[in-house]
Amino acid sequence: MSQNKLFTVLVPIISVFLGLLAGAIIMLVSGFNPIEGYTALWNGAFGDSYTLGETIRRSTPYILTGLSIAFAFRTGLFNIGAEGQVIVGWLAAVWVGLAIDAPMYIHLPLAIIAAGIAGALWAFIPGILKAKLGVHEVIVTIMMNYIALFVTNDIIRNVLTDRQTTTEAIPASASLASDWLQSITLYSRVHYGILIALFAAVIMWFIIQRTTIGYELKSVGYNEHASRYAGMNVSKNIVLSMVIAGTFAGLAGAMEGLGTYGTISVMSGFPNMGFDGIAVALLGANTALGVVLAAFLFGALKEGAGEMPTGAGVPTELVDIIIALIIFFVASSYIIRWILLRFKKEGK
Amino acid sequence: MKNRKFILLFALLLSLGIVLAACGGGSDEEETTDSTNSGDDAATEEGSSDYSIAMVTDQGGVDDKSFNQSAWEGMQAWGEEHGLSKGNGFNYAQSGSKADFMPNITRLVRDEYSLIFGTGFLLQEDIQKAAEQFSDTKFALVDAIVEAPNAVSVTFKEHEGSFLAGVAAASKTTTNKLGFVGGIDSPLINKFEAGFIAGAKSVNSEIEVDVQYAETFDDPSKGKLIASNMYSNDIDIIFHASGGTGNGVFNQAKDIKQNDPEREIWVIGVDRDQHEDGEINDQNVTLTSMIKRVDVAVQEVANMLANDQFPGGEILEFGIEEEGIAIAETNTEAMTEEIVNTVNEWQEKILNGEIEVPKTREELETFESSL
């Protein structure tokens, strides 16, 4: 058992290391100094309090989308729809922020709850289709992503604004942004959402590990038929799992809407938080703590990457390749696991 | 048991390695920045300018064959003039998504560039915020309005140029059907749309214009798809105002031309003279381009700063008169003298105020009913 745990810790670390190594080789081959490149990456992510704040800000929605996918995964569901759930959550949060006038202690929670409910509703549809009709959730969630994207764009243009591309900023009473946090991080956009994200991670851990519901959800994930035979309501569990996953993703939208931007803009493509969330969940081995750590790694990589062209002269395209390689190795942890197992057997 | 210890040791070594690598990198970096810094000083002594400029692109990037590229070319020209080189007096930061705008701007501010350009209306909020936060740095925003004493807004009269493009298209078309491919449906791109339709209908009110938006500035495949639909619906000229998405429009036109060299189809380029992008065998599908001299504007603003005349808080508007907007005449085979003359006639009418070119869909409606 403890060996298993060691493995779960060791595999991601080796993956990241291999990814960095491969990135370094690519940089060497292309004639750039990898040490300089990685120093720029490091400085871009943790160099001072500003970049640190931005890294935390960028990680916040990753934590929530990662949790969303990890949670569904525990029940054997593949929630590709986090992307759409983020978008509707974002829209709902900003909408409530703009439409309602209330003191902060009502307004802010209301906007956050609206985002959660919007995400939950968006995930409920694929959940119920899967549970009642057996329609595969991957297909439905992908379709729901596009519906979310285009409906949201239309609502921004025609309902929230008069044919503009960005809404007005939400009032301070609905904002997660904090002057205090900004002032200690040289005006980065870090906001109180990180507390919500961490709290959500605790909630996930609690549901999965400490409640009967969590036990049933996991059980359905392991073996649907056995669970049914044991008297569990499989349909209910599938829907419930999707709804909870959707809530997490909807909250990720609230982080962007209420924290980072305070507005919502017409999107020309997916913001990619949901898709990156899949990698985050995989890297985090679908556990709450793992997801939080993986989200920070992703946030740091994405944030630090911006510094590489200006700091070390590495072209943007190469930076994308390096970051993709690191993610590739991280995602291919199965291979590393396999090699380690081989290695161990031979050792015996 | 033994194995477990071994793995633990391995993990420890690995993490130690990572930490050491990070530390080692730190000291190395100091050395390298030192050396580049001294290089910097030398360069600034050689160069004739104490100012440095930088730009933050939108999602298009500096090789979008359009708007961002034009701005970057302007910056390079300015740098060359002042004996500077990339990363050494002028530079750019590329944004992959909306989330990158603010970190990119802040990074350039902290690298102490004296003037930072934001190219594209997508950066409006972020440049506005940055201008308020960093009052010692100068900002310039292209294509949208920013309100701050240390920032200048650079806008263009795209509707006027698009009007002339519409005139050219209307004189050239044989099917009386034109297409317009927009990037994101927004007030800025609506200016192109309104101007183009007004221009076409001024020449021939029978002309139909099909308007489609790709909802993105950086997806050529969407542009190609829209163009394919338009060309198969008898439309023979497409005006695109969609940045990188427009490359797909060019590709589709060239594909059709490749298979059927006799077919008369054209594309009207935008922002830069897109003559090169239309070359296929010994033909060219680029009828003309609505040139928006972002490069001229960038250089002008940079020069104003260098002469200590930075027009903070002002809105600079570049039109035909200011040589910020023009119609390309590179493709002399397609743009016959007759068409050029017609375009010039209408240009006169705009310049002497005889026509007020519509900027929005509402203004277009009133314009059309007055025809």
Tell me the per-residue pLDDT of B103-134, one tens digit each, with 9 for 90 and over. 999 999 988 999 999 999 999 999 999 999 89
B275 lies in a domain?
A: yes
**B177: helix, strand or coil:** strand
B251 and B190 inside one domain: yes
Q: Which of B32, B93, B218 faces A36 most closely, judged by CB atoms?
A: B32
B258 contacts chain A (CB < 8 A):
no
User: Mind listing the pLDDT tens digit for each residue in A286-330?
Assistant: 999 999 999 998 899 889 988 888 888 888 777 778 778 877 887
pLDDT at A92 over 80: yes
B170-186 mean pLDDT: 94
Q: Do B93 and A58 touch (CB under 8 A)?
A: no
Confidence of residue B160 (pLDDT cuts 50, 70, 90): very high
Question: With left for phi above 0 and alpha for psi between -120 and 50, is residue B353 left, alpha or beta?
Answer: left
- Could you tell me how many CB contacts below 8 A there are between chain A and chain B? 117
Which residues on neighbouring strands pair with residue A238, listed in sequence order? Answer: none
Q: Tell me what ipTM this predicted complex has.
A: 0.80
Query: What is the model's pLDDT at position B30?
Result: 36
Query: What is the model's pLDDT at position A1?
Result: 46
What span, in angstroms and rounded, lies between the C-alpha atoms of B302 and B325? 19
Distance from CA of B272 to the nearest CA of A (A): 23
- Domain around B122: 49-156
B258-284 mean pLDDT: 91
B351-371 mean pLDDT: 92
pLDDT at B4 over 80: no
B120 and B208 inside one domain: no
List the one residue out of B152, B156, B83, B91 whose CA is nearest residue B305. B152
Q: Do A36 and B29 touch (CB under 8 A)?
A: yes
Which of the listed residues B156, B180, B203 is the one where a domain comes to its end?
Answer: B156
pLDDT at B99 over 80: yes
Q: Scan for tokens 């870090």, then name that residue.
A: A190
B112 and B249 inside one domain: no
Distance from CA of A163 to the nearest CA of B (A): 7
pLDDT at B28 over 70: no
Long-range CB contact pairs, B342-348, < 8 A, 24+: B342/B167, B342/B168, B342/B171, B342/B203, B343/B164, B343/B167, B343/B168, B343/B171, B346/B163, B346/B164, B346/B167, B346/B199, B346/B202, B347/B164, B347/B320
The amino acid sitting at B17 is G
For residue A263, CA distances in Å to A96, A160, A169, A181, A321 come to 11, 11, 5, 19, 31
What span, in angstroms and rounded, lies between the C-alpha atoms of B88 and B96? 23
- Give the best residue of B215, B219, B222, B242 to mutate against chain A (max A CB count within 10 A): B215
Q: Do A3 and B4 touch (CB under 8 A)?
A: yes
Query: What is the model's pLDDT at position A283?
Result: 82
Torsion over CA: A189, A55, A35, B56 (sign): negative
B162 and B260 inside one domain: yes
A316 contacts chain B (CB < 8 A):
yes
What span, in angstroms and rounded, lies between the C-alpha atoms of B339 and A177? 56
B144 and B86 inside one domain: yes
B322 lies in a domain?
A: no
B94 and B238 inside one domain: no
Query: What is the model's pLDDT at position B43?
Result: 38
Q: Do A265 and B98 touch (CB under 8 A)?
A: yes
User: Mind listing the pLDDT tens digit for each residue in A97-136?
Assistant: 999 999 999 999 999 999 999 999 999 999 999 999 999 9
Cα B290 from chain centroid?
Answer: 12
**Which token pair is B233?**
């619906």
Q: Scan for tokens 């904090």, then name that residue.
A: A178
B79 lies in a domain?
A: yes
B91 contacts chain A (CB < 8 A):
yes
A309 contacts chain B (CB < 8 A):
yes
B278 and B360 inside one domain: yes
Q: Do A35 and B29 touch (CB under 8 A)?
A: yes
- Percentage above 70 pLDDT, chain B: 87
B250 and B353 inside one domain: yes
Q: Which architecture, in CATH terms, is A33-313?
A: Orthogonal Bundle (1.10)
**A80: helix, strand or coil:** coil
Q: Which of A58-62, B155-159, B328-332 has the lowest mean pLDDT?
A: B328-332
Residue of B nearest to A347 (CA): B3
The DSSP 8-state label assigned to residue B94 in this structure reads -
**Which token pair is A106?**
């009502």
Q: Do A189 and B61 touch (CB under 8 A)?
A: no
**Which token pair is A296?**
């920070």
Burial letters A282-318, b for 16+ CB under 10 A, else e? bbbbbbbebbbbbbbbbbbbbbbbbbbbbbbbbebeb
B152 and B189 inside one domain: no
For residue A238, CA distances in Å to A120, A125, A213 come to 13, 11, 11
End-to-end C-alpha distance for chain A, whole angstroms: 18
Q: Which CATH number fits the domain that encloses residue B362?
A: 3.40.50.2300
Burial class (CB in 10 A: 0-12, 13-18, 19+), B22: middle
Contacts of B22 in chain A (CB under 8 A): 38, 42
pLDDT at A149 over 90: yes
For residue A107, CA distances in Å to A146, A250, B216 come to 29, 17, 34
User: Mind listing the pLDDT tens digit for each residue in A217-229?
Assistant: 999 999 989 999 9
Burial letters A242-274, b for 16+ CB under 10 A, else e? bbbbbbbbbbbbbbbbbbbbbbbbbbbebbebb
B88 contacts chain A (CB < 8 A):
no
The DSSP 8-state label assigned to residue A169 in this structure reads P
Which residues on neighbouring strands pair with residue B311, listed in sequence order? Answer: none
B135 and B282 inside one domain: no
Which of the listed residues B156, B172, B198 is the one where a domain comes to its end?
Answer: B156
Q: Do A187 and B110 touch (CB under 8 A)?
A: no
* Chain B residues 27-56 with CB within 8 Å of chain A: 28-29, 32
Domain range annotation of chain A: 33-313
B107 and B221 inside one domain: no
Contacts of A317 in chain B (CB under 8 A): none
Q: Do B32 and A33 touch (CB under 8 A)?
A: yes
Query: What is the model's pLDDT at position A6?
Result: 77
B257 and B172 inside one domain: yes
Contacts of A161 in chain B (CB under 8 A): none
B14 lies in a domain?
A: no
Contacts of A268 in chain B (CB under 8 A): 59, 183-184, 215-219
How many domains is chain B partitioned into structurally? 2
Contacts of A336 in chain B (CB under 8 A): none
